[in-house]
Amino acid sequence: RSLSSGSEGESRLTRVLRERFPRASSIKVVDISGGCGAMYEIHIESEEFREKRTVQQHQMVNQALSEEIKHMHGLRIFTSTPKP
């Protein structure tokens, strides 16, 4: 299972993250490897992150993508909670 095409990989990662973070108000996945699917940048805004430290938020994302990460060279994660 390779993450070959950028848009295919982006949509697969987005789908996995939507399932794991159903309360997310925003999920954005961008292939930053030039389209080969080796590196992604992920932005997630979700209630699930409230009252968790940044490292805990990133661990949640890493855990959700544990299978996909095996096929990547790198991942940039940006998490936040919705503003009241």
Residue 72 to residues 9, 11, 51, 82, 83, Cα–Cα distance (Å): 11, 15, 29, 28, 31
The reply to whether 1 falls in a domain is no
Q: Does the pLDDT of residue 49 top 70, yes or no?
A: yes
The reply to whether 56 falls in a domain is yes
Identity of the residue numbered 25: S
Phi and psi dihedrals of 28, rounded to 5? Answer: -130, 125
The reply to whether 54 falls in a domain is yes
The reply to whether 3 falls in a domain is no
Q: Tell me the pLDDT tens digit for each residue of 57-76.
A: 999 999 999 999 998 899 99
Per DSSP (E only), the strands in the chain are 24-31, 39-46, 74-80
Predicted TM-score of the model (pTM): 0.86
The reply to whether 21 falls in a domain is yes
CATH number of domain containing 15 = 3.30.300.90
Structure tokens at 53: 């430290």
Identity of the residue numbered 26: S
The reply to whether 22 falls in a domain is yes
Residue bearing the bigger pLDDT, 84 or 10: 10
Q: Does the pLDDT of residue 13 top 60, yes or no?
A: yes
